[in-house]
Amino acid sequence: MSQQSVRFTEHFNAAPAKVFPYFASHETFGAMAGGPLAAKLKFIRRVRLGKDIKHSDGEGSVRRIGYGPIAFEETVRTSTPGKLIEYYISKGSPLKNHQGRIEFHADGTGTRVDYVITFEPKVPGTGPLLKGVLYGMISPAFGRIRKALAGR
């Protein structure tokens, strides 16, 4: 099957240390991606703490996305505060070989975020549809994060 990718490059007018927590916290990112209703309903929630108690959503942590039989889990592989988050789907999902990588780069006027998701669809021919779903789920987060950062 063919590998698909969804890529985002976004700029934020804040330092990486201020931007990173919006992506690293499972519940916060869920609220940013899904909005107030998704936050209230806990559409994205942590189900296992990470290895480091100071970074409970860091390396080794697991988040569940969705509900019931259509829910899936993602495990954080790498989390370097202010620099990098890598995760993969560890349970469920219509995707296989799914990898997410979020890089944070100080660029002099703030932070450039490079976010790439790669995957293969389990069902042949569904790649473009799944790519659109992923894009539609994640792209709203950028505007909400900008708004939250401006409100600080």
Position 127, amino acid: G
**What is the arithmetic mean of pLDDT over 137-144?**
91
Residues 50-79 have pLDDT tens digits of: 888 777 888 888 988 887 777 888 999 999
Determine the pLDDT at residue 1.
54
- The domain limits of the chain are 4-150
CATH number corresponding to 4-150? 3.30.530.20
pLDDT of 105 > 90? The answer is: yes
| DSSP secondary structure code for residue 40 in this structure | H
Determine the pLDDT at residue 101.
98
Q: Report CA torsion sign: 25, 27, 30, 36.
A: negative
The structure's pTM equals 0.90
